A and B are shown apart, each in its own frame.
Chain A
Amino acid sequence: QVQLQESGPGLVKPSQTLSLTCTVSGGSISSGSYYWSWIRQPAGKGLEWIGRIYTSGSTNYNPSLKSRVTISVDTSKNQFSLKLSSVTAADTAVYYCARDSTYNWAYDYWGQGTLVTVSS
């Protein structure tokens, strides 16, 4: 059973860089045809896709966030990471990591989510 777990600071200051890591267990991050994604959800609002990284290392980003986002993978640690630069209060949200596959093109595994607050 694949499991995903987000980790990282819960509080980030405005203008700084938000950094989160997703640890994957129950399977290798580099095996199979999978995309590893980040999705966020401000309190009381809907889901916003941030971006994803493929097993091969190629990436896709939300055009509205592209200039500030970097997603990378560390296969030796079975982890992938999110960096979001120049954050503001509008970036305060629960951040989820999730997996989708080229089999069903849907998010079948999710982390539990981690709340990141941007505040001085």
Chain B
Amino acid sequence: DIQMTQSPSSLSASVGDRVTITCRASQSISSYLNWYQQKPGKAPKLLIYAASSLQSGVPSRFSGSGSGTDFTLTISSLQPEDFATYYCQQSYSTSITFGQGTRLEIK
């Protein structure tokens, strides 16, 4: 299995801050990397696919970058509704794996 490791596991930030979450794959996955946002009691929501493509309807303050083994999700200016848990997911392998999640909390 391809292991996905996110950092940090949790993060405290304030409204208006710029935030970056990192995801590292245990082997190269090209650009087969997706990012999701999950709020309590809800299903995950797709934010970014193919490492850097913004899903339709997702605010432009969200962006993704990277290829190979190292990827980042950036939120340019945190809004109150952005406090949630974020997951990366690789779709390079036929055995799909997720990162362990990054919990973004209000400072």
Residues of A within 8 A of B (CB): 37, 46-49, 52, 60-63, 96, 98, 100, 104-108, 110-113
CB neighbours (8 Å) of B32 from chain A are: 105
Task: Given A63-B1, A107-B46, A111-B43, verify A48-B98 contact (CB < 8 Å).
Answer: yes
Contacts of A112 in B (CB 8 A): 42-43
- Identify which of B1, B44, B95, B101 contacts A107 (C-beta below 8 A): B44
In the complex with contacts A105-B32, A111-B43, A100-B99 CB distance below 8 A = no
A contact face: mostly helix, strand, loop, or mixed: strand
Residue in contact with B44 in the complex, picked from A47, A63, A100, CB distance below 8 Å? A47
A104 to B49, CA, bound (A): 6
Shortest CB distance B52–A (Å)? 12
Q: Which residues of B contact A104 (CB under 8 A)?
A: 34, 49-50, 53
B70 to chain A, nearest CB (A): 19
Stretch in B11-19, B75-83, B86-94 with 4+ CB within 8 Å of A: B86-94
Interface centre among B43, B45, B50 (most CB of A within 10 A): B43
Binding site for A on B (CB under 8 A): 1, 32, 34, 36, 42-46, 49-50, 53, 55, 87, 89, 91, 94-101
CB distance from B25 to the nearest CB of A (A): 14
Q: Are the C-beta atoms of B34 and A49 separated by less than 8 Å?
A: no
Q: Decide: A106 near B91, CB < 8 A? Known: A46-B99, A46-B100, A48-B98.
A: yes
A-B contact sample (4 more), CB < 8 A, given A46-B100, A106-B49, A106-B89 = A60-B94, A62-B95, A63-B1, A110-B45
List B contacts of A52 (CB < 8 A).
Answer: 96
B91→A100 contact, CB < 8 A: yes
